[in-house]
Copies of this chain bind each other. A is one copy, B any other.
Amino acid sequence: MRNQDPAQLIAGVRGGDRLRLAQAITWVENEHPRAVELLAALYPCGGGSHIIGVTGAPGSGKSTLVTALARAIRAAGQTVAIVAIDPTSPFTGGAILGDRVRMRALSGDPGVFIRSMATRGSLGGLSKTTGGVITVLDAAGFDRILVETVGVGQAEVEIASTAHTTVVVEAPGLGDEIQAIKAGILEIADLLVVNKADRPGADKTVQALAMMLELDGTHARPRRHHGRLVPDSQAATGTPAHAGQGESRDDARWRVEVLKTVASTEEGVETLRQRIEAHRDWLLETGEWTAREHLRAAHAVEALLRAELERRIRAQWAALDVRALVEAVAQRRQDPYHAAQRLLAGH
């Protein structure tokens, strides 16, 4: 397996060979010298998977929910891949919690593929590597791909740019600060789930979310592209099939719902699966699927551009002697603003 070439991996991924699929993903994660070649070849084979982002605050139980959802997807006769992204430790990596539990619940089923990834706290890590892993799984022909992230800060924005359907998971009584986070999360959610719904306060949380949706009024708005290099006007060229007439028609819009689940007992999980399918149908019927494919493409290109620019800048910098300038700034003989300008000017 060590001296695989991309052609063998491509054939393996396309042909359902699990060992080669795992190895292809490892190439992507480790930035193997030939990973780009592999991904470029696999990309055209993709486009068939429905990519579902599941994001939520720590403690919302989203790992358990993702596991239960995968079982429901399998029960409905579809294949499913799970990508769990763990941004916990930027330094040590850090193990994925609940991973062993998940493995046990789904093990032995050839229609399920699970991969956990540590991003080491890097955002670039999320967009760059996750995009590649999704490309591989998409080419491998999984019907559904579940991408699980801890939804705090930037991660939930990233996932919304990567997924067709974004599920935001909450739990009752996670405190005021979490409540505030919701304000941002509402704008990316296609479906809201209050998990651990058997706990006290669940109905209150559902009501609060429903009220926020009502007040917000943005939940039915077409999704924006949140990247920075590629402007909205250029990225969102996927015009809905019924544009012009549909713009103000309520039935052409997706109404975000608040669902209740108890992932540990699988209560409400099949309903969640069905609502995800309903969202998929809506995407396809309204032409919004095409629009999201454009956003996903724009996001992918931008992430790659950033990574390449970063690499070039770093290479350029290695040649300069930054030390003296940083020392001058530390001793306040030079301010950082002029120091940065001098470095940019090549001294």
* B-side contacts of A337, CB under 8 Å: 36, 39-40, 43, 304
Given A94-B183, A184-B94, the answer on whether A58 and B177 have CB atoms closer than 8 Å is yes
Least Cβ distance of A244 to chain B in Å?
A: 20
> Is there contact, CB below 8 Å, between A332 and B44?
yes
Considering the chains assembled together, what is the distance between the CA atoms of A174 and B174 in angstroms? Answer: 9
Which A173-196 residues sit within 8 Å CB-CB of chain B? 174-178, 180-181, 183-184, 187
Interface SS of chain A: helix, strand, loop or mixed?
helix
Beta-carbon contacts of A287-316 to B below 8 Å, as 1s and 0s? Answer: 000100110111011001100111001100
Beta-carbon contacts of A37-53 to B below 8 Å, as 1s and 0s? Answer: 00111011011000000
* B-side contacts of A157, CB under 8 Å: 90, 121
Q: Is A220's beta carbon under 8 Å from chain B? A: no
Chain B, residue nearest A62 (CB): B177
Q: Which of A317, A326, A343 gathers the greatest number of chain B CB atoms within 10 Å?
A: A326
Least Cβ distance of A118 to chain B in Å?
A: 10
Considering the chains assembled together, what is the distance between the CA atoms of A314 and B177 in angstroms? Answer: 34
Considering the chains assembled together, what is the distance between the CA atoms of A59 and B66 in angstroms? Answer: 24
Residue in B152, B298, B330 whose CB lies within 8 Å of A152: B152
> Is there contact, CB below 8 Å, between A47 and B332?
yes
> Is there contact, CB below 8 Å, between A304 and B184?
no
* B-side contacts of A89, CB under 8 Å: 180-181, 183-184
> Is there contact, CB below 8 Å, between A59 and B123?
no
Chain B, residue nearest A235 (CB): B326
Which A308-342 residues sit within 8 Å CB-CB of chain B? 308-310, 313-314, 317-318, 321-323, 325-327, 329-333, 335-341
Q: Is A107's beta carbon under 8 Å from chain B? A: no
> Is there contact, CB below 8 Å, between B123 and A123?
yes
Between-chain CB contacts (< 8 Å), 15 pairs = A44-B335, A58-B58, A88-B184, A123-B154, A150-B152, A150-B177, A152-B153, A153-B153, A237-B327, A294-B326, A296-B330, A297-B327, A298-B326, A304-B339, A308-B341
